[in-house]
Structure 1
Amino acid sequence: MKYDMSKRIYLSQPQQTGGEMEYVKKAFSTNNLTLFGDNITEFEHRMAQYYNVPKTLAVASGTAALHMGLRALGVGKGDYVFAQSFTFIASTNPILYLGATPIFIDSDEDNWNMSPEALKKAFEWAKKEHKMPKAVVIVDLYGLPAAYDELIPICKEYNVPILEDAAEALGSMYDGVKCGLFGDCAGISFNSNKIITTGGGGLALAKEEAIIDKMRYWSQQAREPLPYYEHYESGYQYRMSNILAGIGCAQVPQIDAYARRRKEIFEYYKARLSDLPVSFMPSSKKAQPNYWLSVVQLEEKEDVLPLIAYLEEDLIETRMAWKPMHLQPIFQDAVYITAKEGTDVSQKLFLHGLCLPSASVMTREEQDRVIKRIREYYENK
């Protein structure tokens, strides 16, 4: 089979529904290009229906949702926050924005997210050191739900709230509950490479309606409802625009369909690559991931970079798994707690993890091209 070698295969490009322009044209025809408008109202309503909650808040990014979520949970200067180490830095930056200090927790090999055993050890350490956290940031990495049936009771035992970073987990479920509904506050991402997109943006969720109201207030520069500009608190320019919300309105009905398509892509890879010396990301019986990205682990002796370079020669975009926060130069002095002394699951997953092209818009021919190239790499070794 001959392939069009000039056509690049991207890691996770967006998929359009065909209805986006109708909403965008509506915004332009009414000259409503601001941070308010019918598209925003409809988008927030549709997302509230999807999650079966009274209110949601559309914001400029998933990071913005996490930032305000931590603030709503009372995190401030001088506080400590437990945070999953194996993640993208956007999970952690809001801790710094608020002047708090992250304490990093290792992951569990069974689901790649925060290890319950490491979390227990972290609370024991914090109690002894008088550094109890104001919040715990748990991530649903690559759309894999965290082990909430174990993590939530631990946090409740110490009366510490959870911020759920579900940026990558729109459409994922755990024990029948949608990811984004486990934390006291949560953030979703609509970046261009996610399950659905607004071209850039996010969604804030919270168990209490009053928290959504407070975050809405902050997201509009904390302006008081007066005929002049008056402020009692600091705020942010964190609202989503009416144009971007229109893109989201067209995308919302496809959330579950796009997640199903990514699952098909994952299963197709698994069926055709499992005989190679690679392992695929795990999933428990209670978890229903959205398979945002299909991620494989190479053998421990294997360097992932040569395979990335080999695929790039054929214009196939891949990338390493997230570099853990405790290995980042900015956090070189941070405390890092693992389940077992001498083990570092997060580092292992990073060093040998490879993210494969996974877009719902990906064709079977494109996926066959990726598979063929990977198999050639191992055959030529």
Structure 2
Amino acid sequence: MSGRIHLSPPDVGQLEESYLIRALRSGWVAPTGPEVDAFEQELAARTGTTHAVAVNSGTAGLHLALLAIGAGPGDVVIVPTLTFVATANAVRYTGAEPVFVDCEPETGNLDVTLLADLLDRLGAAGERVVAVLPVDLFGTCADYTALAPLCAAAGVPLIEDAAEALGATHQGRPAGSFGQVGVLSFNGNKIITTSGGGMLVSDDADLLARCRYLSTQARQPVIHYEHTEVGYNYRLSNLLAALGRAQLRRLDGMIARRRLLRDRYAKLFAAFPGVRLLGDGDPGTNCWLTAIVVDPEQTGWPAAELAEHLARSDIETRPVWKPMHRQPAFAGARAALTGTADRLFARGLVLPSGSALTEPQVERVFGAVEGFVHQR
């Protein structure tokens, strides 16, 4: 055994190095520059949208999107309870209230039936719902075939949290292209990385112009520094955009590598009743992270025991996201629940899925997993 195996380490190499060196030698070291412009154009093309704004994190992108659609104190934003905390935090940044919705068991994505009922109840109570903010969990798109017309009929903007889903599709349409605006993340563990970074993508030019303005300290277009409202320093560095451009060139290969790992996990666990892959069977997933769901009544062992076994071999795993309605920071928040997210948190386990995993590392992971399940 040599070294810890992580869930999704950055997958970078000589191409990324060459792009970074070129950008550094160009003299464009400060934020903005030609690499940022090109990265925005390339990401818009990849997601099938017409406009993009690069920012320094996916969280910043969510914050800007919510501000641009007018979220503020007294408003409600509907958020899946099964997500990373950034989705809910961005709502709080605006002063609006996140109201959480449970998920469907097959994918962990937002339960559309619950959402429909919640929209009716909030509307009947006279509350102003300014956005629905679905999340494409672990790289599998939410059910936009049902979500988009539901939000449109209710007159509520849809903001797609596609932070985990670059390269994924739903019914052949790219993640990030659904709703009024989509938000991507390029954090160090994402399917492509700019070290830290994010992107807003949309066909709404005015909305993204507003996001760009707010991301650059809301500076007025005059020769001196003039500010008529509060803005934010959310720009992406030109150097990091260069890294992102190199990563984007390799995206399809990295997805293919992750899909091979996911397929191998699927074949392994198919022989053991009581274990399934979360989101299994969706051909549009980017396979960012592979998560299994364990029914201990069938397997005779809980997911936590497999995690402990792998930890002894210095192999990283983690439970699926702890639901937002269980987070101390959101204690007392309103939520429409069925118990599904709680069950997935108790029974789900995310396994090493990164495209940078070497063949010896892959064999080490699968050897450890196979050893555990066969012993059990």
Output the TM-score relative to the length of structure 1. Answer: 0.94
In 2, Cα distance between equivalents of 1:115 and 1:347 = 14
Residue 67 of structure 1 corresponds to which residue in structure 2?
A: 63
Question: What number of residue pairs does the alignment pair up?
Answer: 372
Residue 282 of structure 1 corresponds to which residue in structure 2?
A: 279
Residue 164 of structure 1 corresponds to which residue in structure 2?
A: 160
Q: Which moved more, 1:160-169 or 1:117-126?
A: 117-126
Tell me the CA shift for residue 296 of structure 1: 0.2
The aligned runs of 1:90-239 (5 Å cut-off) are 90-239=86-235
CA contact (8 A) 1:163 1:183 kept: yes
1:69-109 C-alpha deviation (Å, 9 max, x unpaired)? 11111111111111111000011111000001111001011
CA contact (8 A) 1:297 1:354 kept: yes
Letter in 1 for 2:305: P
SS in 2 for 1:139: coil
SS in 1 for 2:79: strand
CA contact (8 A) 1:169 1:290 kept: yes
CA contact (8 A) 1:17 1:251 kept: no
Match of 1:344 among 339, 342, 363: 339
Match of 2:358 among 331, 355, 363: 363
In 2, Cα distance between equivalents of 1:72 and 1:126 = 22
In 2, Cα distance between equivalents of 1:224 and 1:324 = 41
In 2, Cα distance between equivalents of 1:173 and 1:217 = 30
Match of 2:369 among 357, 368, 374: 374
In 1, Cα distance between equivalents of 2:4 and 2:329 = 33
SS in 2 for 1:354: strand
SS in 1 for 2:77: strand
In 2, Cα distance between equivalents of 1:206 and 1:314 = 44
The aligned runs of 1:207-356 (5 Å cut-off) are 207-276=203-272, 277-283=274-280, 287-301=283-297, 302-338=301-337, 343-356=338-351
Tell me the CA shift for residue 300 of structure 1: 4.7
1:299-354 C-alpha deviation (Å, 9 max, x unpaired)? 1555433321210111111111000101111112111113xxxx311111111111
Tell me the CA shift for residue 172 of structure 1: 0.3
In 1, Cα distance between equivalents of 2:194 and 2:256 = 20
Letter in 2 for 1:368: E
Letter in 2 for 1:353: G
Tell me the CA shift for residue 17 of structure 1: 4.4
Tell me the CA shift for residue 283 of structure 1: 4.3
SS in 1 for 2:3: coil
SS in 1 for 2:219: coil
Q: 1:54 to 1:120 in 2, by over 3 A?
A: closer
Tell me the CA shift for residue 221 of structure 1: 0.2
Residue 55 of structure 1 corresponds to which residue in structure 2?
A: 51
SS in 2 for 1:204: strand
Give the alignment's Cα RMSD to 1 decimal: 1.5
SS in 2 for 1:212: helix
Q: 1:52 to 1:153 in 2, by over 3 A?
A: closer
Tell me the CA shift for residue 289 of structure 1: 0.3
CA contact (8 A) 1:164 1:185 kept: yes
In 2, Cα distance between equivalents of 1:375 and 1:280 = 16
Tell me the CA shift for residue 15 of structure 1: 1.1
Letter in 1 for 2:276: S
SS in 1 for 2:14: coil
Tell me the CA shift for residue 234 of structure 1: 1.2
In 2, Cα distance between equivalents of 1:284 and 1:124 = 32
Moved over 4 A (4+): none
Output the TM-score relative to the length of structure 2. Answer: 0.95
In 2, Cα distance between equivalents of 1:256 and 1:208 = 27
CA contact (8 A) 2:168 2:284 kept: yes
Tell me the CA shift for residue 127 of structure 1: 2.2
In 1, Cα distance between equivalents of 2:20 and 2:362 = 32
Tell me the CA shift for residue 273 of structure 1: 2.3
Match of 2:16 among 14, 20, 26: 20
CA contact (8 A) 1:13 1:193 kept: yes
**1:43 pairs with 2:45:** no
SS in 1 for 2:129: coil
SS in 2 for 1:138: coil
Letter in 1 for 2:326: L
Tell me the CA shift for residue 281 of structure 1: 1.4
